[in-house]
Amino acid sequence: MDNSINASEKKPNIFQRFGRGFVQFWKDFGHGFVNFFKKLGSGFKNFFVNFGKRFADGSIGTKLSHFIMGAGSFYHKQYIKGAIFLILQVLFILFMVMCPTVNGTPYGWKALGNLALKGNPGGYDDMGRLIEADDSTLFLLFGLVTIAIIILFIIVYLVNIASSYKADQDEKSGKKPTSFKEDWGNLLDSRFHILMLTPTCIAALVFTVIPTIFMISMAFSTYNIVDMNDATEPYMKNLFHWNGLTNFIDLFKGKTTLGHEIGARFFPVLGWTFIWAFFATTTCYFGGILLALLINKKGLQFKKVFRTIFILTIAIPQFISLLAMRNLLNGNGPVNQILMNFGWISKPIGFLGNNTVGDNPYLAKVMVIIINMWLGVPYTMLMTSGILMNIPTDLYEAARVDGTSPIKMLFKITFPYVFFVTMPYLISSFVGNINSFNTIFLLTGGGPSVVGGTYVAGETDLLVTWLYKLTIDNGEYNTGAVVGILTFIITATITLIAYRNSKSYKEEDTFQ
């Protein structure tokens, strides 16, 4: 125990550690970046060398496989496999050439061309009939989907060649090429991970990767409902174009009204987001540990009852408890009424800042953090209860013999131990709080509001809730995407630094 106290005194303070971590992170990041491209380069080289080698070495079947998928499999009498490859190729070619249209927007090669976002503006033909304009959202989306399909096809194509080449090798070494049944068996055994991961990979590609790229692209376009509704003709409402870095520049230079309003609020909102994330994480964390200590105190009865009460609040859907809180603390809600009945206040207090513009922003901020404790403390209590019981009791015994006070034990034994074990949770909970939409949206809706325009974030708005207002309420998709990208860059940097730091932290001094 003495040892660890000494070690902790010698350790640089948190700021120095963070600073060092920061420098180290960017150094490593640079290295990693260069290495990544070096690896990629050598990977590409190997790929083409192998590709050429296979083509030269392979049997006629393998050679044919480069043009007609499945030819190699047919050559090796693996008919089912060959048929699957062939069908996939036919389907792919049909998809690319025929360009199936959905909602008047084509897939296939046309979708790739449409990625330029040069849509037909529509208009009226000679007879005065309306020709609908193209929908740029669908252009972008279908273009991305088509690219994803092409990438998947290339993977299948390479698998097809590799499979034929492997069959060649098997034949050369006197073995029989694998049958379809054996392939299926492999999929259940040595290549089980492929079978297990494919559904998730495809789902992630469609529902995470494509949407993310889609939203990133929005930041470089003119996609906002306000401008589009102002279009000279009503039928042009669905058109937008690329406009490079203009949105980013607008935000920092603040020349347009929108850019000005957003630029003026960006850093205050960012600052509050961090203050919120810091306090929301730490208050819940330490509050939870203290509550767990209290509940698990030796000799207390009814532990289960108390625990159940706190678990009850976890089990209740958050939107219910948050809306209940909001109504309790509302300007004309019960709490204000009771306070007024007692004569302690003369007019309602805007605890959550959703009454009027004049509400105190600091009060709202503090209230949000306190209510968040109400939500989060039981969870941490539950989580740390198990960990607290795992702390070796001889640590406490030794400290007691040395005459250490309970408070000191708390700070020197309990907190470091729990802290050490739950570091990963702390980091992920910090990131979770940066993106904590529900709490703010349902409690304050961002209020108290700030004077200064349509797009201005309220006092308690986080970056995410602001993002919601910008996109869903105001239809400023491009500017919202810019805010989203900046949020990502900031959270990603901090998280990666923290992860790195926690790892090295673990290595340099293990507890005890």
**Helices and strands, number each (H, E), in the chain:** 24, 4
**52 vs 386, which CB is nearer to another protein?**
386
**243 vs 495, which CB is nearer to another protein?**
495
How far, in Å, CA of 481 to CA of 486, rounded? 9
Q: Residue 50 Cβ, how far from another protein at the closest point, in Å?
A: 16
Q: Residue 388 Cβ, how far from another protein at the closest point, in Å?
A: 11
Helix (H) / strand (E) element for 138: namely helix 136-172
**257 vs 504, which CB is nearer to another protein?**
504
**Rounded to 10 degrees, what is the CA torsion of 102, 107, 111, 114?**
-10
Strand, coil or helix: 106: strand
- What are the angstrom distances between the C-alpha of 124 and each of 250, 342, 439? 35, 70, 49
**256 vs 313, which CB is nearer to another protein?**
313
Q: Residue 183 Cβ, how far from another protein at the closest point, in Å?
A: 13
Q: Residue 88 Cβ, how far from another protein at the closest point, in Å?
A: 21
Residues 6+ apart with CB under 8 A from 367: 329, 351, 352, 443
**49 vs 204, which CB is nearer to another protein?**
204
Q: How many CB atoms lie within 10 A of CB 151?
A: 10
**97 vs 202, which CB is nearer to another protein?**
202
How far, in Å, CA of 505 to CA of 498, rounded? 10
Locate 7 and state its tokens: 């070690």
In SS3 terms, 17-39 reads as HHHHHHHHHHHHHHHHHHHHHHH
Q: Is the peptide bond before 100 cis (omega within 30 degrees of 0)?
A: no
How far, in Å, CA of 299 to CA of 231, rounded? 74
Q: Residue 263 Cβ, how far from another protein at the closest point, in Å?
A: 20
- What are the angstrom distances between the C-alpha of 414 and each of 109, 286, 342, 409, 465? 63, 11, 43, 7, 36
Q: Residue 67 Cβ, how far from another protein at the closest point, in Å?
A: 29
Q: Residue 104 Cβ, how far from another protein at the closest point, in Å?
A: 11
Q: 488: closest CA among 214, 212, 255, 271?
A: 212
Q: Taking each helix axis from N to C terminus, what angle separates 303-315 and 257-295, rounded to the nearest 10 degrees?
A: 160
Q: Residue 223 Cβ, how far from another protein at the closest point, in Å?
A: 11
Q: Residue 210 Cβ, how far from another protein at the closest point, in Å?
A: 7
**295 vs 413, which CB is nearer to another protein?**
295
**164 vs 273, which CB is nearer to another protein?**
273
